[in-house]
């Protein structure tokens, strides 16, 4: 077990700052050392302070001739970090977006210090190792390699480490309202799809996200008679919420595929074996009965379950204020994730029909973000990413992907700018479950491979045509 001590991190800084002379073997290994350093800068959100991330990255980019620009927010310790490597301007910029904040931890459930930057057994451990400080390290190192190797560029390459992606207000949408000129690009890379490793370490598939699910909050309000707890009435608001919850527990939304999620499931059918391969094939092309059976079996994996339908998760129940009063109202909040193209109003009507309860009102809570168009897999950036993934992991299938959660890509996609998402390192399904969980980790070798792949993608998309 190697812990990144202060002396080692000075060494890391020396290696990273040294530029071209120190290249070769350290080029990509230093991605893991940079990640360890980034993990030690605790940017859990809340409060999501990202200034320390900017302090680590600033000198590394400046030393290589990037223009560094740190955008403050109304919260002084929360910043967006830009580093731009100038090209000859003949094409529009390529942007690399990586969020610098992370979610918090349940510290007692970790076997290592989640903010220690621990490297052991060939992996970097810590909060954000996968989501998304690993991405910062890979994107940053790949961009720095362009400068180190003096690759002539047709377009600027912009690296952006963002604040407030993990559900807070000063995010990229905020940034786009204030500083669109700094983030305008022809296309962007972001978090999203997966490079999934099999048990034997070989890569099964590379999924590149082209769209995200749309988040909707729904409030269900129950109205009953408020009265003395000694004389209960049938119209108890809490009981009505209970009925709604029981119905939701037994309800399942229908299967729904987008063109890209259909491609993803086709890839799963192709890269799986035996019974699993047969189930994926039946899911897409079987009889209604076969599809139902395949759905029930495959849905035991919560990720797969979420990718083929709208999901409805009850998240908050509120009601009651003292033990001898029956409250006149109670409220249930649902977190709904919609497949792109799905009609939010239709889902509300489905819920009303499901509950069929005069005590209940179902309403969308807050504003629903505009639907983002899917980014086309015919884009130069997608094609380059797919080709370089195939070159890096020849045994893998590459597919577009509908991301099951939300990201901050909407700031670009809503302006018609394609964003492609990838967690740029091979991970196993066990490691995937540790994201936002305990002992989050990514292997040093995966970081090395990811850096190579992203570097070659950047070179292919941004490199001057004469140098390719
Ligand atoms: Zn993330």
Confidence of residue 276 (pLDDT cuts 50, 70, 90): very high
Q: Is the pLDDT of residue 2 over 90?
A: no
How far does the centroid of ligand 1 lie from the alpha carbon of residue 99, in Å?
A: 7
Which pLDDT score, from 0 to 100, does residue 107 have?
A: 95
Does the pLDDT value for residue 468 go beyond 80?
no
Q: How far is the CA of 422 from the centre of ligand 1 (A)?
A: 10
274 CA from centroid of ligand 1 (Å): 33
CA of 407 to the centre of ligand 1 (A): 7
For 85-109, how does the pLDDT look when each residue is reduced to its tens digit (9 = 90+)? 999 999 999 999 999 999 999 999 9
Confidence bin at 367 (pLDDT 50/70/90): confident
Output the CA 152–ligand 1 centroid distance in Å: 31
Instruction: Using the mean position of ligand 1's atoms as its centre, give its distance from the Cα of residue 45 in Å.
Output: 12
Q: How far is the CA of 211 from the centre of ligand 1 (A)?
A: 14
The mean pLDDT of 423-432, rounded to a whole number, is 94
Cα of 102 to ligand 1 centre, how many Å?
7
Ligand 1 centroid, distance to 236 Cα (angstroms): 41
Q: How far is the CA of 50 from the centre of ligand 1 (A)?
A: 14
Residue whose tokens read 């140098």: 467
Tell me if 97 sits within 8 A of 188, measured CB to CB: yes
Mean pLDDT score across all residues of the chain: 92
The three-class DSSP label of residue 324 is coil
Rounded to the nearest whole angstrom, what is the distance from the C-alpha of residue 436 to the centroid of ligand 1?
9
pLDDT at 10 over 60: no
Residues 6+ apart with CB under 8 A from 310: 253, 256, 336, 337, 338, 339, 342, 347
Q: Are strands 214-223 and 360-365 parallel, antiparallel or unpaired?
A: antiparallel
Pairing of strands 94-99, 157-162: parallel
Residue 291: is its pLDDT beyond 80?
yes
Whole-angstrom distance, CA of residue 437 vs CA of residue 431:
10
pLDDT at 28: 56
Mean pLDDT of 420-448: 94
DSSP notation for 73-127: -SSTT-EEEEEEE---SSS--EEEEEE--B----GGG-SS-TTS-EEETTEEEST
C-alpha 101 – ligand 1 centre gap (Å): 8
Q: How confident is the model at residue 3 (pLDDT cuts 50, 70, 90)?
A: very low
Cα–ligand 1 centroid distance for 25 (angstroms): 29
The pLDDT of residue 406 is above 90 = no
Ligand 1 center to 440 CA (angstroms): 13
Integer angstrom CA distances of residue 385 from 27, 57, 159, 201, 455:
20, 25, 17, 21, 10
CA of 191 to the centre of ligand 1 (A): 6
- For the record, the structure tokens of 153 come out as 């560029």
* Spacing, Cα 96 to ligand 1 middle (Å): 14
Distance between Cα 135 and ligand 1 center (Å): 9
Q: Do strands 203-212 and 187-197 pair parallel, antiparallel, or not at all (unpaired)? A: antiparallel
Distance CA 179, CA 185 (A): 13
Give the DSSP letter string of 19-50: GGGG-TTHHHHHHHHHHHHHHHS--BTTT---
* CATH number, domain 2-212+374-467: 3.40.630.10
Ligand 1 centroid – CA 125 distance (Å): 16
CA dist., res. 313 & res. 103, Å (int): 20
Residue 23 pLDDT grade (very low, low, confident, very high; cuts 50, 70, 90)? very low
How remote is the CA of residue 79 from the centroid of ligand 1, in Å? 17
Measure Cα distances from 421 to 20, 103, 340, 400 in Å.
Answer: 29, 19, 16, 9
Contact by Cβ (8 Å): 142, 451: yes
DSSP 409: T
What pLDDT is attached to residue 234? 96
| Domain residue ranges in the chain | 2-212+374-467, 214-365
pLDDT at 168 over 90: no
Q: How far is the CA of 435 from the centre of ligand 1 (A)?
A: 9
Ligand 1 centroid, distance to 3 Cα (angstroms)? 25
How many angstroms separate the alpha carbon of residue 381 from the centre of ligand 1? Answer: 21
- Give the CA distances from residue 82 to residues 70, 71, 247, 419, 435, in Å, rounded to whole numbers and listed in that order: 6, 8, 48, 17, 26
182 Cα: distance to centroid of ligand 1 (angstroms)? 22
SS3 state of residue 368: coil
CA of 450 to the centre of ligand 1 (A): 17
Tell how far the Cα of 130 is from the centroid of ligand 1, in angstroms.
8
What is the 131 CA–ligand 1 centroid distance (Å)? 5
Which DSSP helix (H) or strand (E) runs through 272? none
Statement: residue 66 has pLDDT above 80: yes
Distance (Å) from CA 132 to ligand 1 centroid: 5
pLDDT score, position 26: 55
The Å distance, Cα 7 to ligand 1 centre, comes to 30
Residues 353-376 have a mean pLDDT of 92
Question: CA 431 from chain center: how many Å?
Answer: 15
With b meaning 16 or more CB within 10 Å and e meaning fewer, what string describes 266-305?
bbbbebbeeeeeebbbbbbebeeeebeebbeebbeeeebb
Edge-to-edge strands, sheet with 123-125: 2-3, 118-120, 123-125, 441-443
Confidence (pLDDT) at 308: 96
Give me the CATH topology for the region 214-365: Alpha-Beta Plaits (3.30.70)
289 pLDDT more than 60: yes
């Amino acid at each position: 077990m190697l812990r990144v001590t202060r002396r080692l991190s000075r060494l890391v800084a020396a290696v990273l700052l040294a530029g071209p002379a120190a290249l070769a073997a350290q080029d990509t290994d230093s991605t893991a050392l940079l990640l360890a350093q980034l993990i030690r800068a605790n940017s859990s959100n809340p409060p999501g302070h990202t200034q320390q991330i900017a302090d680590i990255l600033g000198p590394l980019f400046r030393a290589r001739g990037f223009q560094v620009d740190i955008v403050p927010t109304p919260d002084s310790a929360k910043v967006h970090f830009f580093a731009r490597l100038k090209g000859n301007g003949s094409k529009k910029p390529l942007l690399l977006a990586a969020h610098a904040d992370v979610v918090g931890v349940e510290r007692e459930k970790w076997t290592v210090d989640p903010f220690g930057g621990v490297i052991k057994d060939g992996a970097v451990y810590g909060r954000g190792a996968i989501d998304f400080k690993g991405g910062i390290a890979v994107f940053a190192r790949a961009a720095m390699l362009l400068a180190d190797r003096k690759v002539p560029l047709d377009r600027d390459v912009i690296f952006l480490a963002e604040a407030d992606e993990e559900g807070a207000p000063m995010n990229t949408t905020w940034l786009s309202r204030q500083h669109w000129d700094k983030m305008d690009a022809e296309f962007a890379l972001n978090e999203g799809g997966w490079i999934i490793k099999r048990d034997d370490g070989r890569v099964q598939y590379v999924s590149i996200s082209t769209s995200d699910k749309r988040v909707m909050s729904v409030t269900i309000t129950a109205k009953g008679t408020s009265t003395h707890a000694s004389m209960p009435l049938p119209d108890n608001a809490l009981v009505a919420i209970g009925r709604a919850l029981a119905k939701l527990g037994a309800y399942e939304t229908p299967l729904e595929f987008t063109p890209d999620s259909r491609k993803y499931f086709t890839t799963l059918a192709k890269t799986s074996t035996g019974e699993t391969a047969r189930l994926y094939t039946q899911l897409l092309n079987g009889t209604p009965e076969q599809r139902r059976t395949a759905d029930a079996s495959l849905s035991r994996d919560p990720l797969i379950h979420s990718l083929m339908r709208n999901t409805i998760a009850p998240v908050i129940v509120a009601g009651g204020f003292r033990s001898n009063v029956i409250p006149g109202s109670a409220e249930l909040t649902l977190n709904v994730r919609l497949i792109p193209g799905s009609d939010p109003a239709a889902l509300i009507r489905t819920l009303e029909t499901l509950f069929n309860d005069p005590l209940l009102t179902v309403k969308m809570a807050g504003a629903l973000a505009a639907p983002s168009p899917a980014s086309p897999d015919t884009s130069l950036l997608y094609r380059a990413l797919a080709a370089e993934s195939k070159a890096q992991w020849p045994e893998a299938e590459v597919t577009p992907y509908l991301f099951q959660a939300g990201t901050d890509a909407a700031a670009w996609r809503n302006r018609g700018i394609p964003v492609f998402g990838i967690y740029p390192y091979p991970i196993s399904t066990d490691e995937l479950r540790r994201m936002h969980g305990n002992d989050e980790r990514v292997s040093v070798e995966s970081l090395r491979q990811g850096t190579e792949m992203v570097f070659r993608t950047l070179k292919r998309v941004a490199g001057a045509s004469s140098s390719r």
